[in-house]
């Protein structure tokens, strides 16, 4: 249950990510620099992994659940999908090759978006992969990229319509994307900042990659904002 969008610029890109979770789940730890992996990411205390990270090279990784395929997945027990990004960060320059060689059978279905370190408005290919529980496939993506464990077609339609209302296709701005990710509908399950009896949006992340890296993290549960700045690696 998450929503991802991005904005490409002349110097790099901006990534926006709403994380939706069960109301009973523990709050995540805010993003911090991991010197060993040369990356910045928040931590899910349950699985000790992450759903979103940016490497100091400028590459970002974002993972969403893939509920549409999850029912077809093999029987568990399963490992935490939060481990996947941490594994890929160990060889960030070859993340796609590493992903393709991983034994993913121990994980429930997911979608993984990979933002290259040189991604910008003129080098604009975002690589998106889906693990269906049986095979890994690369797919084209259109914004927004979203997931929902409840009534996915209806939820996607509503979030797509809201995206088209708020974000100007010809002149998109950071302000528009932030407004989109904060938007709330009358029926909470349809919102980008969603709310249901069992789950809600718990955080919003905004990663900016250009000459430097900025990770802004808004914790909606604690009503706090964490900002992490990191110099990019060169070469």
- Res 225: pLDDT: 97
Domain range summary for the chain, segments of one domain joined by + = 2-142+201-231
CB 110 within 8 A of CB 64: yes
**Model confidence, pTM:** 0.94
Strand partners, 34: 39
124 vs 186, more confident: 124
Q: Is the pLDDT of residue 22 over 90?
A: no
- Residue 168, classed as helix, strand or coil, is coil
70 vs 223, more confident: 223
Phi and psi torsions of 44, nearest 5°? -85, 115
CB 41 within 8 A of CB 50: yes
CB atoms near residue 188 (< 10 Å)? 15
As a whole-number percent, the residues of the chain with pLDDT over 90 amount to 82
pLDDT digits (tens, 9 = 90+) for 65-97: 987 776 555 566 889 999 999 999 999 999 999
- Residue 139, classed as helix, strand or coil, is strand
pLDDT digits (tens, 9 = 90+) for 125-152: 999 999 999 999 999 989 999 988 788 8
40: left (phi over 0), alpha (psi -120 to 50) or beta: beta
């Amino acid at each position: 249950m998450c929503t991802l969008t991005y904005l490409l610029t002349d110097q790099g890109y901006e990534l926006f990510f709403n994380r939706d979770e069960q109301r009973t789940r523990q709050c995540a730890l805010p993003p911090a620099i991991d010197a060993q992996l040369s990356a910045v990411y928040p931590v899910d205390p349950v699985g000790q992994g992450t759903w979103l990270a940016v490497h100091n090279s400028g590459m970002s990784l974002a993972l969403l659940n893939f509920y549409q395929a999850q029912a077809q997945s093999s029987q568990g027990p399963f490992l935490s999908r939060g481990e996947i990004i941490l594994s890929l960060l160990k060889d960030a320059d070859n993340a796609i090759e590493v992903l393709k060689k991983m034994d993913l059978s121990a994980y429930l279905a997911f979608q993984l978006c990979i933002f290259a370190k040189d991604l910008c408005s003129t080098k604009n290919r975002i690589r998106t992969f889906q693990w269906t529980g049986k095979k890994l496939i690369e797919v084209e993506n259109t914004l927004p990229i979203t997931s929902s464990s409840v009534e996915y077609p209806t939820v996607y339609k509503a979030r797509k319509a809201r995206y088209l209302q708020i974000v100007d296709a010809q002149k998109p701005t950071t302000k528009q994307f932030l407004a989109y990710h904060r938007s709330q509908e009358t029926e909470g399950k349809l919102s980008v900042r969603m709310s249901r009896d069992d789950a809600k949006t718990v955080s919003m992340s905004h990663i900016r990659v250009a000459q430097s890296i900025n990770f802004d993290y808004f914790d909606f549960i604690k009503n706090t904002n964490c900002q992490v700045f990191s110099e990019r690696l060169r070469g």
